[in-house]
Structure 1
Amino acid sequence: MYIKKILLTIALLGIVAVGIFSYVIYNTIFSPNTQFESEEASVYVASDTNYKELLKQIQPLVKDINDFDQVAKRKGYATNLKSGRFILKQGMNNNEIINTLRSKNEPVSVIFNNQERIEDLAGRVAQQIEADSISLLNSMKDEVFLKKNDFNLENALSMYIPNQYELYWNTSAEAFRERMLKEYHRFWTESRLQQAKKANLTPQEVSVVASIVQKETAKVDERKRVAGVYMNRYLNGWKLDADPTVIYAIKKESKDFDTVIKRVLYKDLEIESPYNTYKYKELPPGPIAMPDISSINAVLNFEKHDYYYFVANPENPGYHMFAKTLRQHNNNRQAYVRWINKMGINR
């Protein structure tokens, strides 16, 4: 009888111990273990992150890092990290956190526009995905890739259509470039290609003209008319005489793209550069900035009119005065020069 009591006591203690152990294990795995104030928190795991670094990154977001560590090791995550962007939600337990970190890579929105150079684009994109600006730039300027896809170093920027794209944060530089090439071909539909052909332009040349149009006017509702002026000139064999191309040539020669030039001087028109459209009839070899879609569409659907000249309108800031004849244009220009002198703009 005494032995039976001992055995029963041992059995009960065992059951209690198992119960306590099971409870601890259950709590470790399934109890909420987050501690951030917002509804969710993003975790960015770089491709070269090791487990020790991950623990440091996760620690501020969880109540008990040791519990997280135990579960991560039990589930094999500690030796099999996944890179990307992962969203943790308020109240998640360790099991849910780890399942999220190893299988729910969330995309990010990558946005870019108004970049003047391919270098600027690389820097802008590097702020939004894991790839750094140097690897992105090297990929974008890869001459083998460019030649294979009918681009070159001068017009490479035209391959990148400004928009908002969903990409995984851990997208590599090469993968980003390939995705943008795919988006470029998606943008240039058969309809747009036919419009370009009708205007006697290649898609790259459309981007060149569009970049000039965009630099000339920030007013989207005026871009088709400005594009019409340049297309009248281009299709009739005239020089474009576009001030923005001269400004770009000055910046390119000086390698100083941060300088703000508001006024083009007569001496600037003599600068020796293929971008100087006061000197050469040919279109510049590449865009002078990244044109947005409205500027590209403005060139493809340029306004049909008889205007060959335009100058900024002092009485309607942001817009321009258009002229059919040089005489009319000179009158408009005199009004503009008086205004710019009055404003004290010398450069």
Structure 2
Amino acid sequence: MAKKLVIIDTDCGIDDAQAIMMALAAPHVQVLGVTCCFGNASLDHVCQNVLRVLAVCGRQEIPVFRGLAGPLLGATDLLNDHFGSDGLGDVLEDRDPEWREKVQKEHAITAMIRLASENPNQVSLVALGPLTNLALAVRLEPGFPERLKDLFIMGGNMEGKGNVTLCGEFNFVCDPESAHIVLEEFRCPTHVATWEYCCRNKLSWDFFEELLDQDAPAARFMKLLTSKCWAYSQTTMRNKRDVFFGPGFVSYDSYAMAACVDATVVTESVECGVHVELGGSVCRGMMVLDPTDQLKKPHRVTVMTRCDQERFRKLLVDSLRQPRHQ
């Protein structure tokens, strides 16, 4: 059976690292490349983080491409230290001094366009960070989206609940214009794992501890990465998260990747038009669902609402159990 071809666009923080490992562990998935963007950390740190994840899994043959370092308009002040200043928990001491030479010379945007053109209607694009690279790709090559098989996005919201602003989710608020462009102009089948979807399908902290206690290089690596930030999440942040969803472990980007790797993970969804709000001091970056078709959108997206947690847990376990690739 032909392998599922995937491009991963990421602002590689800890949950991105988990999602990348999930793709690498799936035997039917072939990752064509990883494109990097700003978000959880600076672009330099993101590139280094991706290279480190690939090295831990023994998959250095997968090319890594450098993308956009900031949003379409202005600058972002949303870079935060939830995952540490480097995006991976500030626990790695042995940084590779030669990492720049290991990043491809080709720009992430042209790499995306080229890989889709070389494999028309066969490539799934999984977007785990701000959508700046994707927005610039469709501006550079308007036919890019129609060459994709499908698009999976972690970002946005469906109930107006925000995690960095009153109504906005981090990835979309980092670059609202890009989120707006992508959801307006990408007409390929599009699947969105919103912030609320991820939180409503959270897992227990007991499972999290079992997940990291596996005796494998990837599990030991993830245990190191999470040693500071998840301890923080279970204590200082617990009350804040309880307001909407109650306590639990949420590997946000893994939900979008799981939907790409195994479509049966998503058990319920809503298909409708969506709109990303660009104006206003409160709602900028918020994604609005239009289930009654008042906006008359020509393109509907699939907004995930419920997942098969047993299947999702298995994908997470397998991602950290994988042997080192030779």
Scaled by the length of structure 2, what TM-score is found?
A: 0.25
Scaled by the length of structure 1, what TM-score is found?
A: 0.24
Structure richer in helix, relative to its length: 1
Structure richer in strand, relative to its length: 2
In our comparison, the structure showing a higher alpha carbon Rg is: 1
